[in-house]
Amino acid sequence: MYNRRNKFNPLWNSLVLGGVKNGNKYLGTVSMIGVNFKDNHVATGFGNHLAQPILRQEWHENLSFEDGVKLLEKCMRVLLYCDRSAVNKLQIAKITEEGVTIHQPYSLKTYWEFSTFENPAQGAIGSW
């Protein structure tokens, strides 16, 4: 990625990196042009705009794994509803000092029968 960035031909990827070593946790992100930071929670793409506010409000240090998965599913559901062409499948990975556990992919439960989803332009003044 560094070589491609320096040639002004970056790979169009944003990466999330995580790990635990000697009890020190790490979670960070790197953009396609090398902008990087670490935090307690990170997101890429559209998630920076829609999921990060939810994470900032609801994440806390003592969050259990199960509650963390519920929070992640809430964020992913918001992102899915804003982009109907997205796929509702996700896969969870848990990183601990003992290693990485990657769970089986599963489909997020969704509800598309909201009246706004069926006719989004209804009631919109000056709609296209």
Look up residue 50 and give its two tokens: 């829609």
Domains for the chain: give ranges and CATH numbers. 1-38 (no CATH), 44-127 (3.60.20.10)
Specify the pLDDT at position 20: 93
Residue 19 exposure: Cα atoms within 13 Å on the Cβ side: 4
Q: What percent of the chain has pLDDT over 70?
A: 98
> pTM score, two decimals?
0.81
The alpha helices in the chain, defined as continuous H runs, are: 2-6, 47-58, 65-82, 115-118
CA dist., res. 12 & res. 103, Å (int)? 27
Q: What is the pLDDT of residues 21-69, one digit of tens each?
A: 888 999 999 988 888 999 999 999 889 999 999 999 999 999 999 999 9
How many other β-carbons are positioned within 10 Å of the β-carbon of residue 81?
17
